[in-house]
Structure 1
Amino acid sequence: LLRFLFLRFVSLQAIIHSKSKNLDEPNKDGWLPLHESAYYGSVKCLKILLKETINKQTNKSQTPLLLAVSRKHVSCVEHLLEQGADPNLANNQWETPLYKACEKANEAIVVLLLRFGASPTKACVQGGTPLHEAVRNKKLEIAKMLIKAGAKLSARNVYGIDSLVNLVTYSSGGNVNTQANDDASALFEASKNGHAEAVEILLSKRADVNITNKTGLLPIHVAAKNGHDSIVAMLIPRTSKVKVRCSGISSLHFAAENNRDNVLETLIEAGYDVNAKMSDDWSKMYEDHRSTALYSAVANRNIEAATMLLDAGADPNLDIFNPLLVAVRKGSMEMVTLLLKHGANVNALLPTHPTSFPAVLVFCMRYMLMMKYLLDNGCDAQSCFNCQYGIVHLLFAFKSNSFLQFCEIISTPSISSWVGPIIDTLLDYVGHVKLCFRINEHLDTQTLSISVLPCTLMHLCRLKIRQRLGIHRLWQISALPLPGRLIMFLSYERESFEDILHSRPNKHRFNMFSR
């Protein structure tokens, strides 16, 4: 064989020097002399022929590199790569040189190909990846190299078989805590992609559930995020709650943000803290700087999730932006009712745009039913009339003020047309007040007239009783030992037009007239 190769080498040199044969002319299979040199492992011939196209492909799209790999000619593979051969050119079955190297279980060639930039994720026509082949051959060292290089553990072939399940099945003697470049363990990948069988096998082999990836997340985080409740249930007993707290974000946050109600229920039942707050680093990733799982549930209008969290003891007043403000802004009466029943602060302020009155009113001035409901439940109407400028508003209009006044809000074009009904509604929830200059100016501009009549003793008594009860006990008005009609009066409920006339002595203050 050596003599044959030597004679072939000498003949090749003679042919090249004589230029009597076209070296670019393929045979019936599309093979060039370059392909034959790679196939037979003749490095010397390769060196001569490499002046031709190094990535030339046969009729079956085979490159010299792929042929050399398939025949396990390590020296040829190395030389071809050094000379610039493309390690990612596949044949007509989409099999790359790396795929072939793993199929042939040749560790040395795998090392070479990865060093020269071979992709570990390219799949053949049947969906098989280099990792599938490495695992099929039970070559754990090759599998580890591929994982380190970025191979996807969750990749499935056309038969639905993924490399991860096979890997954990065959790795009884291997390190089940092997991590990829992003520090994700096999358990992390299995948890992320919902491979319950793989998770079960890894846990049986004592895989560490408390290994984090580069972002500090645990397997339980990604399982919760993607809604894999059965995997979350498997991970809970072994996951350290201290590790979860140190990560800066709870699994509850991911479950609530992504509407994973089953996972949320599982975590709550397992005793996860429903009042856990995100770290500042995590919170800053959100434009609204949310910090609790409840906020995400409210933002998603997820009544079921919000109910579970509140029933489990979630505090609705922990976020910088109160969840109640979000619910009011979204116009969700059901969510507003739920939050108020669980003690949400109806008089919360906006930290970014501080006002001298409850911020909820900013978001409901065009929705009178919502406004009235908030006022019924303790929203401070009196503060709307405590304008610091009073009757000399225009004299101080140029001065900047850190707290926005109610009269300034209703002066905006989008609200100004509603000034009459807004003021008329608010007057039902206050005692003796004076309208400031700007409010009167707007009413006058729109040809509206509101006369603030003296309050009746009955109305003042209602306000006093509600004040003594306190905001958080307004829900218990119905339990007072009083006649039904009086309970309705205290709750601002109406039975008929006659009741309106008797229980609202200051009504009919609001009239429209033409100039």
Structure 2
Amino acid sequence: MLRIITSRHSSNTFTERKGKHVKELLRCYRTAVISTSEPKMAVASVPLSGSRGPTLGFEDYSLYSALSEDELIGLAIEHSLADAHSSVTITAPTKKPAVQNESAWSRPTKSNPTFTRTTPVYPHNAPMPVSSPAIKPTQPCGKATEPQQSTPSDEATRSYSFVTEKGQRCVAWRRYDGSMYIMPESEEPLDPIVEAIQKGAAETLIKLSRMGKSLVQPNKLGWTPLHEAAFYGQEKCIRVILQAHPEAIDRRTPRQQTPLLLATAAEHVGCVQHLLERGANPNFTNKDGETPLYKACEQENLEIVVLLLKHGAQVNKPCGQGWTALHEAVCHNKVEICEALVQAGARVSTPNMYGITPIFIAAQSGRDKTLLFLIKKGADINSQANDGATPLYEASKNGHDEIVELLLSHNADVNKAAKSGYLPLHIAAQRGNEGIVSLLIPVTSRARIRRSGISPLHLAAEHNEDDILELLIEAGYNVNATLSPDRSKMYEDRRSTALYFAVINNNIEATAMLLEAGANPNLDTFNPLLLAIRQGCIQMVTLLVEHGADVNAYIPNHPTTFPATVMFCMRYLSMLKYLMDNGCDAMACLQCQCGSKPHPPIKTTQNRNNLDDRTDESPKVPVQFCEMISAPINSRWAGPIIDVLLDYVGNVQLCSRLIEHLDSYKDWAIIKEKSALPRPLMHMCRLRIREQVGTERLKHLNNLPIPERLNNYP
């Protein structure tokens, strides 16, 4: 489910964007240097094409989530015009941008600084400001420097203005199908009516009207003079136009913008008041379904909100995605606007198309003031979105400690799970929110945790949240809790314990905590000891063996005639010796079904030393040690490996294949002689003592009541 809180427009940035220009934008992200004058805005600097630099991941796209679609296209256009050796710098203007479509009206506020605009989109006939970005490549840029001589269609939108290396002013146009083209900026003089409106010269406007100039004729982009006057906040010009043409008050642009909506979005209070008094409809929407009331809440302008409500604005009218004005006011944490909306009849628990209610937004984005206001007004504190998430779940997910504490103090249900089965405690443990975990542990049902099929210990171990893991262990959570079969099947290796997650992450600290707390290292289908051996971490191997890990572990779906632990440590002789010292079965490695008889050809279709190459169908005949050591990756170590194994067995006859390996290298002849001759009496005594005492008791040999000389044998 797509859920956006900081701005409803953000849902159109990456997840829902279609069209050919997306690929160009993604390419631009990897090759542009972005800088901004906003102090609270994150900055990303990436080398341009021609140099190797880091690639932005999905989490980095949040840097651009506040940009409108037009702005993103602007970035792509700039890059397409830039030379491979030139640098591009885009600086956010400090003035409020003048724009012609709704999606560009998001701007930074005190409550939400993420509404930062980094590229202005100017009206179709506005002069280019001095501070606007300009591109002057040092070398010609091919076709990009030769503007296309084409005429914008009625369905085209002006997206960006720029200057070529020759000083020519150009405009990038975007059609509604997503395609783009570039044309020179018109050098025709500004329309006299528009020029008069921009200057606020009402007398000049009257003279032009008397000279026969139309005050209602739309231009080629569908904007009438009344739209221009409302956009620029020229109240006197609005009076002149409406006095001559009152029927034009609710005319719309191709984006379905009325003069009232434009004036509201630009926060021209006087213009809004006059338009309403002259009968402008406050409930007409633009193409996104946004009303002037919604825009006023988005701009956090209480005065305009009150004006619109007094003139009949529908307070519960949703936009295209189901957001109401109250959703937007809560998003900006404006209690005064929320109060005005609720007094006008706003419903406090209206869900949008994703099932998100205003209280959900307040909890998710950490808006404590509006959250408390909504609770007092009777909002459903346990409302669930379409994915089953509750306000408490989202607050726990995003690390809002104060919000969690506030929700708990008003009896929020901590045991209501999302559709994923996760409780708020699960998501808090996964995200590493220690303070929230401490708040949720005492009030979360252990039985409900068990029914979910996963313990918060699993999530803490999986995401290397050691502090959370320690907190849960101290709270008494079962360190041997296993995943439910359904959740275990989600993993190819059928893992089930928190210890497995810690070992596979090579997290020694977490592994030690779990083992000290009583974790059983032998519960998983694929023994964690095998993981540690495969990773070559002797410290992890020692830790597991000391806490009872089975040194003779096997792999159920990969049968062998010898312990699988040997299979994974053939290249780590010191580790192999350590396993043998702790009771690994060496005799099983040197026993062969063929013996001194000729062996069948070795199958080379599968690398049996690589667990990733195994198939779901287990081989009918278990793999023998001589077959495993004959693999090319292991055969170079055959002599030393056999030499180590011989130290832990008595008289034994090597099979013909192992003899062949020893004969293949002259320095291994002594190993062959070692296996052929009767073993020394001291060696046989050593093996007998190990057999009688046992490997577990050998770890505490100094405490056994046996003669001192025997201590030297094992």
Letter in 2 for 1:422: I
1:407 equivalent to 2:631? Answer no
Letter in 2 for 1:468: Q
Q: Whole-Å Cα distance in 2 between the matches of residues 402 and 20 of structure 1?
A: 93
Identify which of 434, 449, 454 aligns with 2:678: 454
Query: What's the offset of the Cα at 1:207?
Result: 1.4
For residues 14-413 of structure 1, what are the structure 2 equivalents within 5 Å? Answer: 20-21=214-215, 22-23=217-218, 24-26=224-226, 27-30=228-231, 45=247, 49-50=251-252, 54-55=256-257, 58=262, 76=281, 78=283, 80-81=284-285, 85-87=287-289, 96=295, 99=298, 104=305, 109=314, 111-114=316-319, 116-117=320-321, 130=331, 132-133=333-334, 137-138=338-339, 142-145=347-350, 148-149=355-356, 152-153=361-362, 162-164=366-368, 166-168=370-372, 170-172=374-376, 174=378, 175-395=380-600, 401-413=620-632
Q: Secondary structure at the match of 2:478?
A: coil
Q: Is residue 25–residue 32 contact of structure 1 (8 Å, CA) maintained in 2?
A: no
Letter in 1 for 2:256: I
Q: Secondary structure at the match of 2:333?
A: helix
Letter in 2 for 1:99: E
Q: Is residue 298–residue 323 contact of structure 1 (8 Å, CA) maintained in 2?
A: yes
Q: Is residue 74–residue 109 contact of structure 1 (8 Å, CA) maintained in 2?
A: no
1:150-185 CA-partner distances (Å, limit 9, x unpaired): 7644565xxxxx325640465145332222222211
Query: What's the offset of the Cα at 1:317?
Result: 0.3
**So what's the TM-score if we normalise by structure 2?**
0.56
1:382-427 CA-partner distances (Å, limit 9, x unpaired): 1001112222242586897431111111111111111010000100
Query: What's the offset of the Cα at 1:199?
Result: 1.7
Q: Measured at CA, do residues 283 and 134 of structure 1 come closer, stay the same or move farther in structure 2, by a change above 3 Å?
A: farther
Letter in 2 for 1:404: V
Identify which of 638, 658, 661 aligns with 1:419: 638
Q: Whole-Å Cα distance in 2 between the matches of residues 288 and 122 of structure 1?
A: 48
1:487 equivalent to 2:687? Answer no
1:475 equivalent to 2:704? Answer no
Q: Is residue 429–residue 465 contact of structure 2 (8 Å, CA) maintained in 1?
A: yes
Query: What's the offset of the Cα at 1:254?
Result: 0.8
1:65-123 CA-partner distances (Å, limit 9, x unpaired): x979x969999465x44xx62236999xxx84663699638798464324x22568999
Q: Whole-Å Cα distance in 1 between the matches of residues 279 and 538 of structure 2?
A: 71
The gaps in structure 2 that reach 5 residues or longer are 1-208, 219-223, 605-618
Q: Measured at CA, do residues 398 and 299 of structure 1 come closer, stay the same or move farther in structure 2, by a change above 3 Å?
A: closer
Q: Whole-Å Cα distance in 2 between the matches of residues 394 and 122 of structure 1?
A: 80
Query: What's the offset of the Cα at 1:454?
Result: 1.0
Letter in 1 for 2:225: E
Query: What's the offset of the Cα at 1:459?
Result: 1.7
Letter in 2 for 1:419: A
Letter in 2 for 1:132: N
How many residues are treated as equivalent by the alignment?
A: 453
Query: What's the offset of the Cα at 1:198?
Result: 1.7
Q: Whole-Å Cα distance in 1 between the matches of residues 412 and 625 of structure 2?
A: 60
The gaps in structure 1 that reach 5 residues or longer are 1-14, 157-161, 491-515
Select the structure that is richer in helix: 1
Q: Measured at CA, do residues 53 and 152 of structure 1 come closer, stay the same or move farther in structure 2, by a change above 3 Å?
A: closer
Q: Whole-Å Cα distance in 1 between the matches of residues 255 and 551 of structure 2?
A: 76
Q: Secondary structure at the match of 2:384?
A: coil
Query: What's the offset of the Cα at 1:462?
Result: 1.8
Letter in 1 for 2:630: S
Q: Secondary structure at the match of 2:599?
A: helix
Query: What's the offset of the Cα at 1:373?
Result: 0.6
Q: Is residue 378–residue 474 contact of structure 1 (8 Å, CA) maintained in 2?
A: no
Letter in 2 for 1:407: C
Q: Whole-Å Cα distance in 1 between the matches of residues 698 and 420 of structure 2?
A: 46
Q: Whole-Å Cα distance in 2 between the matches of residues 165 and 349 of structure 1?
A: 59
Query: What's the offset of the Cα at 1:342?
Result: 0.9
Q: Is residue 462–residue 501 contact of structure 2 (8 Å, CA) maintained in 1?
A: yes
**So what's the TM-score if we normalise by structure 1?**
0.76
Q: Is residue 102–residue 134 contact of structure 1 (8 Å, CA) maintained in 2?
A: no
Q: Measured at CA, do residues 388 and 342 of structure 1 come closer, stay the same or move farther in structure 2, by a change above 3 Å?
A: same
Q: Measured at CA, do residues 440 and 85 of structure 1 come closer, stay the same or move farther in structure 2, by a change above 3 Å?
A: same
Q: Is residue 488–residue 496 contact of structure 2 (8 Å, CA) maintained in 1?
A: yes
Q: Whole-Å Cα distance in 1 between the matches of residues 553 and 590 of structure 2?
A: 17
1:436 equivalent to 2:635? Answer no
Q: Measured at CA, do residues 202 and 442 of structure 1 come closer, stay the same or move farther in structure 2, by a change above 3 Å?
A: same
Query: What's 2:172 paired with?
Result: none
Q: Whole-Å Cα distance in 2 between the matches of residues 474 and 73 of structure 1?
A: 98
Q: Secondary structure at the match of 1:308?
A: helix
Query: What's the offset of the Cα at 1:288?
Result: 2.7
Query: What's the offset of the Cα at 1:306?
Result: 1.3
1:175-234 CA-partner distances (Å, limit 9, x unpaired): 322222222112112222222222222222121111111111111111111122222222
Letter in 2 for 1:149: I
Q: Measured at CA, do residues 392 and 53 of structure 1 come closer, stay the same or move farther in structure 2, by a change above 3 Å?
A: same
Letter in 1 for 2:694: G
